[in-house]
Structure 1
Amino acid sequence: MCNKHLMVVLIILAFDLAVATDSGLETTQAGGGLENRPQRDVSCRNHQEYPHDNICCLSCPAGSYVKSACTSAHERGTCENCDFDTYTEHDNGLLQCLKCTKCRPDQEIVARCTNTQNTECQCKAGRFCAPDQACEICKKCTICKDDEVKVRNCTTISNTECKRQLSTSSNKSGAVAAVLVLIAGSTVIVAFLKRKKKFVGEQDSQNPSEMEKVVVDSGSGLSDEEMQNKLNGRLYDSPLLEQAQAVGQQALANKEKETKQGNSFTSTAHSSPASLPTLPSAPLPAPYPHPRPVSPSHPNTRDDDLPRKKLVPLNGDKSLTDCFSYFEEVDVHFHNRFFRRIGLNDNAIKNRENLQPEDRVHQLLNVWLEKVGMEASINDLIAALLHLNQRLSAENIIAKAISEGHFEYEGKQPRDESQL
């Protein structure tokens, strides 16, 4: 029985010794006695101290690191300031400073790195990176489609939000307007064909005195000046008007001949009526109240083909780009036709429809400049405006370009408004 009790005591002692060994007990000599001290019982104040060799050392301040640790508890060792391009943001027990972050090519620097703060980077304009995703590369912002409206603009941390545009009453009214324009256009064509048929019958009956009536669609979207030029062009190009003019010129020639012959011709006329010159039976057409704005010898000449003094730059290529802002005054309703006239395709124009008019003008002119290259000239832009009958805008742009010292007339001659 005693042996059994002894065996139990020995087993308990062996178990206690194993537990003490696993818990990391150390035997030290202190004041002539032994003291057991487990390592896991060392507890340091958070952010203020760090453990080292079973003691707590005070942390080094932000912007520095631990060069050598302390030898006594609750003291500070040797701290060293961070080198260039390294940092520590908080009090620490680090053995070296952290390396500053380098912004990627698709990012821009918001705040530069210091010894207490890392570099701050963000995506460049037109790109974004969602904060809840791994930002390995900045993605391009989405451009809303033609049938969508922009709900929220793109930022550096969020993409553009687009919403499909619902059918509205304005869309319905636009469709109705398109149908009406189509019907009106069909009516114009039918009226023109009927008029042409009537003209052929009149020509066969040798009655060229009646002028051809040209029907112009008032709802075609043309300005008054463009409509009048179109009307005049058709009238001047019609064979009926040419015949009427020929008859009128013959009548004037006969009248001059009659004046030169004097009284003798008059007396002869009384005695022999058959000798009088034959005049047209119908009256001559009255002069048209709005003459065609081109030279009679060149019926196909347009405003942009007329002789103009060219503008020459005073500051090289910079003169042209400095004048891009002057084209902001061009009527927005003529933007698409203007940019097509200078050679841009519809894709380039439509991709910038969502921009403000001023930004759209600058971006599209830069696209045109990259496309044309060394041949880019402000004279081509002015000619495009004149082709669209935007004479006032063209004159204002020329005046600004000269007054601001970007361009001058070729030959350094004074400005002549009549040659625009």
Structure 2
Amino acid sequence: MGTYLANDSFKCLPCKKDEYPEYPNDFPKCLGCRTCREDQVEVSPCIPTRNTQCACKNGTFCLPDHPCEMCQKCQTRCPKGQVRIAPCTQHSDLQCGPPLDISFSFSTGIITIIVVVVVLVFLLVFSWCCCRHYCAGGGRGLSRKPSAVVQNRLLQRMGIQDNNCNEQIFLNQQQQQQLLTAAQGSEVPRGVEMEEVAPRTSNPNVETQKKLVPVPGKDPLTVLSSSFNTFVEFVPFPEWRRFGRALGLRENNLYQAEQNDRGSGEPLYQMLNMWFNKEGSKASVNTLLETLSQMSLSGVADLIASKLVRNGYFQYEVS
């Protein structure tokens, strides 16, 4: 930790000021320390074995499972008719909810218990009356059958209701499964608006993602590095580790990247930088987009490509 592998001497050398690697590695150079934004405060400075630790200022927050491009202001008070459940923290807004009415909940519970008891008593009285009536008309020799017959009838009536309920639940589950199956392959991250993307084809054997090329006059590697923020914005957080594996990163690289602040999107940014350093001049934005498509995230790949074109980094290749 705190060193890198020199290419000329194959020795581990200490990192320079404002550089670090947190874990054992074979990198040809150390990673650059992060600088906290204006809306953040520095929790702890960068040291050779740990990156700079930043957090939102008091009164602001960033959700831990979303890229933290800027800290959001916390609510100062709850809406009318609601009470505070939890205060604002660096990772969550002020939590509000309706006030708890203890007396109402207690009375509701008492009423529910009384209703259940009345129903059970009614069923027992009904069963006893039916059994007595059947025994009176059937003689002593049939004294054991009425109880079983009455019980079967009661169970059948209750079973019909249970079967109807179970059937409805089964139908609802089937409908939900059909909707889920229909939505697979076209889901986009929450909060992302639908945008115009490159034309797609319905044939699965035909390439569906148009190639991107750098805008003339721009350095290919520079615009590729600049595009990493767009990937951080659109690639869902739960898919970051799988994306890194698909790009050929090793487990220790993924572990090292994930030690950064997840709320700021730094782990995925570091993964992409590691991949960029590993590939060198062979690195291409089309490799990243095709990898997302192979992960069944073609919708995310289209959104990223569309935004990169709009931002003036790339353009669609003319066939």
Shorter-chain-normalised TM-score: which range?
0.3 to 0.5
* TM-score where L is the length of structure 2: 0.37
Q: Which has the higher contact order (CA 8 A, sep 6+)?
A: 2
